Structure formats: structure tokens, C-alpha cells
Amino acid sequence: MTLPVISQVAMLLVTWVTTAALPCNIPVFRYALERWPSDDYQLVVYHKGPLPQQAEKDLKKIESSIAASKAQNAAGESKFCNLAVVRLDVNGLASNSPEPRMQELLKHWKSELSQQSLEKPFAELRTAPISGRTLVVWSGELSAWDSTVMLSSPVRGQLCQNLMRGDAVVWLMIRSKDEGKNAAARKVLVEKNKELTQQIELPDGVGLPGSELFSEVPLLMDFTIAEVARDDAKERFLLSLFQRFDSDAFESDEPLFIPVFGRGRALEVIPASRLDAGMIGDLTAFLCGACSCQVKERNPGFDLLLTMPWQEKLFGAGPYPPPPDVGLGSRSQELKMRQIPGGKSAKPNQ
């Protein structure tokens, strides 16, 4: 499935403006970082009857790798991965199961996968809904799953590091084989980012009651670039995800750009031929402007599969932002407003 590239940023802004909720002067990128938990991917394992001994062993190993990512590793660092395992026995699942997710998966099985013999368990990695559609970004025999490649990679680690240090937007660049094209596209982005760093200002009132910040991450207007080659074996899952999201963009050998913000939310896949200074400026203004729509699902983009303890790294023991259904300004009295963390683009509280 291909989801079309946004040709006019105005299409983004229509969603942003017309779904406005309570007043909020927190920049979109920072609101997403503090208040939007990552959407879970689902590893759905289809099988008939009890799993064979080896398959059960393989699945427990996968589940253990996910569980380990939610515990402390040998270095004492806690990790978290936005992945859930779903076991689906196609013989044992009643057609009248009350759980909507199981109904959806059973329907998908009958319409798309019923030709699979299931002599060996078959698995699919599915995204959360993106623009109303779920993408299957990996499929194969369960034994082919490789957690070391699927759950983390060098570029995904760099994205997490940059976002946690306060970068407003990390532009992920998928390089062309033509270094001349890469250099030209990179120059446009670097020069515009340098200009925007000096021009973009924080929304008035950020950090004040109703627009509180809850983490000590510096509030900066920094825009950085992370690069990956199209044939990087360590990034094959990430590249496959973007190709499933927009296969048309990968048909020509030109650099591709994905603005990433929040907790690893990718905004779009944009070919270099369409990414001019004007689009860079408009997308940046959107991500750095006041978050008028606080409902995550009504904002563009999709979450990457990452291993990162966002809550712990952002807030430690607290205070935490109020739940999404509470709304801005309806916080507990025990929560204390933080000062805006210092940075070259931060304004002091008034």
C-alpha cells in the first residue's frame, strides 16, 4: 500500500486548525514528546492448534526479548519497546469473538492468508492504524524473525538520542546512490535549517499554566539530519517500513527525507525533488507552532518501532503530564510547573 506524499502543507494545516481543542501554547514537537505515548506494533502469530515445540521455543524467545527491553539491561539502563505479541489460533478462535481486534485479524486471515498451510507458524508485523489503514511491514515464518534487527538499529538509536537531547525535528535522509544528488539535497536542508534556527520562535505563553512542561529536556529550535544508505543491512527493517508506507517514493533513485519528532513519530516520506526551502519552512513552522490539536490520531504521521524508555528518561519519578482525556489545565494540584529548560532558543517564563 502506498500513502501519498503531502504535496501541499496546507493539507496538514487544515487538520491542525479545524480540530482545535483547548488552548495550548506548547510546540507540537514538545507536546508529542511529553504527552503522546508511542503506538504499539503488533507481531501477530498465526497457527493451528498448539504450537510445535520448536515454534513455542522461538516465540518465547521473542517474547523474552521484548520483556527484556522493558527491564534493566546489563548496563543498568531501562529500555522499552513499542511492540506487542498476539497469538492467533485460527482453529481455536471463535468467529463470534467479542474482541474487535481478534475479529479484524480473523477477517484478515480469511481474506488474505487462508492459503498459508501453517505447517509452521506464520507471523506478520502490523502497524497501528495510519490514516485509517494498517500496514503489514514484515511477514514470514516465525522462525525467520530476528529481534536484533527488528527492535533496534544504529539510526533508530541516533533518532532517540537526538530527540531526547531536545532537537525539535530530526530529518532522516535516505541517501541516493548518486552522491551529487545527496550533496545538493543536503545543502538545501542544511541552509534552510540554519536560517530557521534563528527565525522560529517559541509560542508565547509556553511553560505558563495551561501550557506546562514536565520534563527537563531543553526546549530548543534545533534541526538536525540523520542519514542512512538504501542498502544498509542494519537498517533494512526501517527502510522496508518507509517503502511500505510510500512505495512510489522509492521508485526513483533520489534522496528521501522524513521529518521525525516527538517520540519517534515520522511525519512523511518526501522525495528531494519536492522538498524545497518553502516546504521545509512550512513543515517546521507546523511542528514548532502551538499545538492546537492535542488528539494524536488527528495529527499526521506514524510512530516508528523503537526501543527507548521515554517515560523514565523524560520524567523519572515525576511529575507526569495529565492523562490525555483530562485536558490542558486540569492537572492535579500536586503537580508543580517546571521552568522552561534552558537553551539558546528558549524564552524565560514571563
- pLDDT one-digit tens code per residue, 265-297: 999 999 999 999 999 999 999 999 988 766 777
Range with the poorest average pLDDT among 27-36, 155-164, 334-343: 334-343
Q: What is the DSSP letter of 110?
A: I
**Bridging pattern class, strands 270-271 and 256-261:** antiparallel
Closest CA to 166 of 306, 34, 347, 283: 34
Q: How far apart are CA 147 and CA 137, in angstroms?
A: 14
Per the structure block, which three cell numbers stand in for 64? 523474552
Q: What is the DSSP letter of 250?
A: G
Amino acid identity of residue 101, one-letter, is: R
Question: Partners of 41 in the beta sheet?
Answer: 83
Across the chain, mean pLDDT equals: 83
pLDDT at 319: 79
pLDDT at 102: 81
Q: Quick check: helix, strand or coil at residue 293?
A: coil
Amino acid identity of residue 239, one-letter, is: L
Q: What is the DSSP letter of 251?
A: S
State the Rg of the chain over Cα.
Answer: 21
| Ramachandran category for residue 114: left, alpha or beta (phi over 0 → left; psi -120 to 50 → alpha) | alpha
- Contact yes or no for 63/148 (Cβ under 8 A): no
343 has a pLDDT exceeding 60 = no
Measured in degrees and rounded to the nearest 5, phi and psi for residue 185 equal -70, -40
* Portion of the chain with pLDDT greater than 70, in percent: 79
- Burial of residue 291, with CB atoms counted within 10 A of its CB: 0-12 exposed, 13-18 middle, 19 or more buried: buried
- Contact yes or no for 292/24 (Cβ under 8 A): yes
pLDDT at 132: 82
- pLDDT one-digit tens code per residue, 163-192: 999 999 999 999 999 999 999 999 999 999
333 has a pLDDT exceeding 80 = no
- pLDDT one-digit tens code per residue, 59-118: 998 888 787 776 655 555 556 899 999 999 888 765 555 677 788 888 888 888 888 888
The arithmetic mean of pLDDT across residues 119-135, rounded, is 91
Q: How far apart are CA 128 and CA 118, in angstroms?
A: 25
Residue with cell 471463535: 94
- pLDDT one-digit tens code per residue, 193-243: 999 999 999 998 888 888 889 999 999 999 999 999 999 999 999 999 999
pLDDT at 42: 95
Range with the poorest average pLDDT among 92-106, 137-151, 319-333: 319-333
pLDDT at 17: 41
* Domains annotated on the chain, with CATH: 10-37+154-315 (no CATH), 41-150 (3.40.30)
- Contact yes or no for 269/255 (Cβ under 8 A): no
**Cα dihedral value 313, 214, 336, 290, nearest 10:** 180
335 has a pLDDT exceeding 60 = no
- Contact yes or no for 86/105 (Cβ under 8 A): yes
Per the structure block, which three cell numbers stand in for 176? 541516493
Per the structure block, which three cell numbers stand in for 333? 494540584
Closest CA to 221 of 240, 197, 257: 197
Q: How far apart are CA 260 and CA 167, in angstroms?
A: 10
Q: How far apart are CA 221 and CA 96, in angstroms?
A: 52
pLDDT at 294: 64
313 has a pLDDT exceeding 80 = yes
Q: How far apart are CA 146 and CA 123, in angstroms?
A: 12
pLDDT at 10: 42
Q: How far apart are CA 312 and CA 318, in angstroms?
A: 9
